[in-house]
Amino acid sequence: MPVWMQYLPYIIVPVLLAIPLGKYIGKVINEQHNFMSIIVEPIETRFYRWLHISKKEMNWKTYSYNVLMFSLVSFLVLVLILKFQNYLPGNPEHFAGLSWPLAFNTAISFVTNTDWQAYAGETALSNFSQSIGLTVQNFASAAVGIAVLFAVIRGFKRTQASHIGNFWRDLTKIFLYLLLPLSLVISCLLLASGVPQTTKGYRTVNLIEPVAVNQQNKLIYGAHINEKKQQVTDDKGHLVKKAKIITKEALPLFPQASQVAIKQLGTNGGGVLGANSAHPYENPTPFSNLVEATSMLLLPMALCFSFGEVLKRRKEGWAIFVTMAILFVAAIAAEGILEQHGTTLRHIGNLAMEGKETRIGVPGSATWSIITTATSSGATNASLDSFSALGGLLPMALMQLGEVVFGGVGSGLYGMLGFVLLTVFIAGLMVGRTPEYLGKKIGPYEMRMAVIACLSTPVAILLSSSIPAMLKSTLSSLSNTGAHGFSEFLYAFSSAGANNGSSFGGFNGNTTLLNIILAIAMLISRFLPIIAMLAIAGNMGKQKRVASSSGTLATASPTFVFMLIIVILIIGVLSFFPALALGPIADFLKH
């Protein structure tokens, strides 16, 4: 089989599943009867009654207020769980509570759908913290992003209406009709592929073959072990003094399958284990790799089609999807070429296997690195620190574009709509016409909000990284020096500022200063676009629809798709080219 064919399933399978799912989500947004209604409607009705959720809709300010309050309460509950997990049940390993700065950073990370983790989950968090704390927030933060998108779509659809929906009803529908059923299906697929699901904690097992470690607890390669005499000799037969023989191993077992399912489906990415999806317990086979990669793309792709379904303008949804798909496929092709043809440090045959798992291979790792940064998942199945210089640049650049190449669930599409409005406005200036989108005029107010939405990510990344970049203490957090060390630093802030959460590797973010600054970057890039896009939705919902004319810009045409791509790339290049030149580009030229 040609190597390029190994990349196709990661593109084709999500698209084939996303098209029907998009139609289904469109019915959920419009509150139409669907195949899940018979099962879910009775439960949904009881939820509204028990929680006293009314049918009264909200204007954009009230909707924004409820989003912010829900996120604030989520943050407070989660930070308390993480800090005081040693006093809570479900802690068979008796882990201590996290420090206040780390608990603060982690709570904000999961509430903002970033899931940046400055710790190894298997040595820091209890079952209770993993399941009740992090997994619940994986659902909640994903639901918030989708709910905001629902409200934005209503703003584009409605005319002379000041209300854009009810946040609590949207949240309930997203949980019951979307996230819970899909997570259950994905969890079962992962269980079938070998991902563990248990609350019993660590299990100690005997090794098939004993291993030896030195005084620093580092593995002694090629050691000859005599268990009876408890002696270790090296390849030359010399006795290794003070060597320890290890015959048992503790297996880090958690309720992995349930958390992995929603971490990928909700584009969260925060794993139970420090190695994330490179660990065989989270991603054991090529099949699980495909399932998880498909899960990351499924909702961001489907919501593009839902946009067209709800507005009854399918071509508009397809135009946005095609824009994202062109950038996505181009990135996969470039990453595959860079990593497939030996531009990294170590080769096995023709494959650059440095930092990659042999069970997954180059195609699965290269494609995953693009999927996880094109969406806001941030899950990793390889060490990006070991990728080629340009191979590390591409995932970084996808985050710096604002994660609008499919992006996070909900956030990717409403972020792309900000770029759409910006492109329509620029095109209107070029031809001397008042810009319009979907029959609504785009005025100064909409443009101000669109600029805020589009520039939130660059501002969050560049401003937050400027302070630690000037401090000598930051060097102690890097495992490399020079351009590659700067790439580690830049990637970390790009990941936090884009609400991605993936790690380049080699960067220690668990210091008081970095925990706080990275958390602030996450907050800026999460909530500024939400408020800006809800403001646009509220203002556009009040407008009358204008009849299209011969001078109306066709926003579903190939020309518009091309213009939109150019605007996205220009903003990304102008914002980050100087920083990229100091990091991955300089690293590439050095070699």
Write down the mean pLDDT value for the chain.
Answer: 89
Q: How confident is the model at residue 566 (pLDDT cuts 50, 70, 90)?
A: very high
Q: Which of 139, 143, 134, 123 is nearest to 81 (CA)?
A: 134
What is the mean pLDDT of the segment spanning 541-551? Answer: 81
Query: Taking residues 358-372, what's their average pLDDT?
Result: 90
Instruction: Supply the pLDDT for residue 322.
Output: 97
Q: What confidence score (pLDDT) does residue 348 get?
A: 41
Question: Regarding predicted confidence, which is higher, 508 or 356?
Answer: 508
What integer pLDDT is reported at residue 350 of this predicted model?
43
pLDDT confidence band for 384 (50 / 70 / 90): confident
> For position 520, what pLDDT does the model report?
96
Return the top range by mean pLDDT from 198-202, 268-272, 340-344, 483-487: 483-487
- Per residue in 139-192, pLDDT (tens digit) is 999 999 999 999 999 999 999 888 999 999 999 999 999 999 999 999 999 999
pLDDT at 514 over 70: yes
pLDDT of residue 346: 41
Distance CA 283, CA 418 (A): 35
Dist. CA 68–CA 70, nearest whole Å: 6
Name the β-bridge partners of 249: 205
Q: What confidence tens digit (pLDDT) does each residue in 424-459 have?
A: 999 888 877 778 898 888 989 999 999 999 999 999
Above pLDDT 70, what percent of the chain?
A: 93
Nearest to 142 by CA among 117, 172, 168, 174: 174
Residue 351: pLDDT over 60: no
Give pLDDT, residue 215.
65
Q: What is the mean pLDDT of residues 552-567?
A: 91
Residues 10/13/19/20 CA torsion (nearest 10 deg): -140
What is the reported pLDDT for 199?
76
pLDDT, greater one: 351 or 410: 410
Residue 101 pLDDT: 95
Note the pLDDT of residue 356.
Answer: 81
For residue 10, pLDDT over 60 is answered with yes
| 131 or 234, which is more confident | 131
Among the listed residues 451, 461, 462, 460, the one whose alpha carbon sits nearest the alpha carbon of residue 419: 451
**Residue 137's pLDDT band (boundaries 50, 70, 90)?**
very high
CA-based max dimension of the chain: 91
Helix extents (H) in 343-476:
361-374, 389-400, 411-431, 444-469
pLDDT at 355 over 80: no
